[in-house]
Structure 1
Amino acid sequence: MPLPFLTAERAPETVRDDTLPHATQDHWRRPYRLGGLRVAIAAVLLLLASYVLMSAVIIALAGGPAAASVTLAIAVVTITFALRILRIGIWVSPHGLRQVNLLTTRTVRWRDISRVSTVQQPVKWLGLPRTVQGQALLIERRRGEPLRTLLTDRNSDFLRRPDAFDRAADLIEAWADESR
């Protein structure tokens, strides 16, 4: 049985010549795939949350509504934490660049960004205090301090995928050049 969605061939009418075919769409998108480590951590947290939710049901059936509500709140916080871990990263749209951290989100319009460049510098390995030599994507604003370096070739999204880091950095630089 043929599976046309698995083939790499495209019909001639669907092939586009521009470098950023999604630039006309008006929503935020991540210019790279998530790394396996972050997905694995989120999956384990969601699995843990399912057990906590089951515990909340058992506690509620046993007659302890206060304890069940506390257990339910723990499960909701765990699910929220897992989903937030999956959202961490850099997102782009025609409006600007969005840097999503665990607890905060910072949005910068493209016209407020003076330069986006890839530089060699000491970077944190998996976000830990230990630093190693690597590449980082620096985003400098016209006014104010530069954004905190979030995209490096040693973070959980690009740890064993240096080509993916290069593609993501090039794509973000292309967004910046095109949108300014």
Structure 2
Amino acid sequence: MPLPFLTADRAFETADDLALPYHDRDRWRRPYRPGPWRVGAAALWLLLASFVLFAAVIIAFTASAAEAAVIFGIALAVIVCALRLLRMGAWVSARGLRHVTFFGTRTTPWERVVTVRTAQQPVRWLGLPRTVQGQALVLVRRDRAEQDAQVLMTTHNADFLARQGSFDRAADTIEAWAAEHGRR
């Protein structure tokens, strides 16, 4: 079963001369691969879900169906959390910029984007309260002040920790999308 949200298109890695090498620009896509920390955490959640599913099968054979259904529901919730963890990140299309977090998704049309830029600032380390000095890709919208810029991704999140080159390529690609669609 292909998981299109898990892999980014390879076109942006091979076409260095084209800033936006996508043919179907209306499709939402993440212009980078999920990082090893994100994939590893999702794999651990899926491993936990497999144990919980196994427990649900054992409970179904030895106890009541209601108890097995509860455990099966817990396993499904863990699977949904793992898949949501894999979908997190910045997504682009011709319609706008989409920032997917664990609990929500915010889509900003290109008409409302003032700028997307890289800024040197304190960033959260793997989403935890601890902050370190790093780079962040920030989105400034027309309906908000410059101080209320939304952080899309950082050099220390689960996708780019210890992958500075990948952060630079992803930030450049998203900035190129914003520059092209901001001119229209």
Q: Same fold (TM over 0.5)?
A: yes
In the alignment, structure 1 residue 112 sits paired with structure 2 residue 112: yes
* Aligned-pair CA distance for 1:39: 0.5
Partner AA of 2:167 in structure 1: F
Map of 1:29-178 to 2, 5 A cutoff? Answer: 29-144=29-144, 146-178=148-180
Relative distance call for 1:151 and 1:16 in structure 2 (3 A) is closer
Give the structure with higher Rg (CA).
1
Partner AA of 1:35 in structure 2: G
Cα distance in 1 for partners of 2:130, 2:16 equals: 43
Residue equivalent to 2:26: 26
- Give the paired residue count: 167
Paired residue secondary structure (1:150):
strand
CA contact (8 A) 1:96 1:108 kept: yes
* Aligned-pair CA distance for 1:95: 0.6
Unaligned runs of 5+ in 1: 1-14
CA contact (8 A) 1:23 1:94 kept: no
Cα distance in 2 for partners of 1:17, 1:167 equals: 13
Cα distance in 2 for partners of 1:35, 1:75 equals: 24
* Aligned-pair CA distance for 1:147: 5.0
Unaligned runs of 5+ in 2: 1-14
Relative distance call for 1:16 and 1:133 in structure 2 (3 A) is closer
TM-score computed with the length of structure 2 as normaliser: 0.85
Partner AA of 2:96 in structure 1: G
